[in-house]
Amino acid sequence: MILFEKNNQFNIANIITYLNITMGIIAISFIVKNDFYTAIILAWIAGIFDILDGKIARKFNLSTEFGIQLDSFADFISFVIVPSFLLFYAIQKNIYLSNIEELILSFTFIWYIISGLRRLIIFNLKVDVGEVEKYFEGVTTPLGAILLWIIYLFLSYQIIENIYTIILLVFIIAYSLNSKIKIRHP
Q: What is the pLDDT of residues 151-177, one digit of tens each?
A: 999 999 999 999 999 999 999 999 999
pTM (2 d.p.): 0.92
User: What confidence tier does 186 reach under pLDDT thresholds 50, 70, 90?
Assistant: low
What's the domain count of the chain?
A: 1
- Domain containing 27: what range? 2-184
Overall average pLDDT of the 54-83 stretch: 95
Q: Are 104 and 167 in contact (CB under 8 A)?
A: yes
Q: Are 17 and 69 in contact (CB under 8 A)?
A: no
Quote the pLDDT of residue 1: 79
Which residues fall within 8 angstroms of residue 114, CB to CB, at 6 or more apart?
Answer: none
Q: Which CATH number does the domain housing residue 97 bear?
A: 1.20.120.1760
Quote the pLDDT of residue 123: 87
Report how far residue 86's alpha carbon sits from residue 168's, in angstroms, rounded to the nearest whole number: 17
User: What confidence tier does 185 reach under pLDDT thresholds 50, 70, 90?
Assistant: confident
Q: What is the pLDDT of residues 78-136, one digit of tens each?
A: 999 999 999 999 999 999 999 999 999 999 999 999 999 999 999 888 876 555 567 78
Quote the pLDDT of residue 117: 98
Q: Terminus-to-terminus CA distance in the chain, angstroms? A: 30
Half-sphere exposure of 75 (CA within 13 A, CB side): 25
Q: How many residues does the chain have?
A: 186
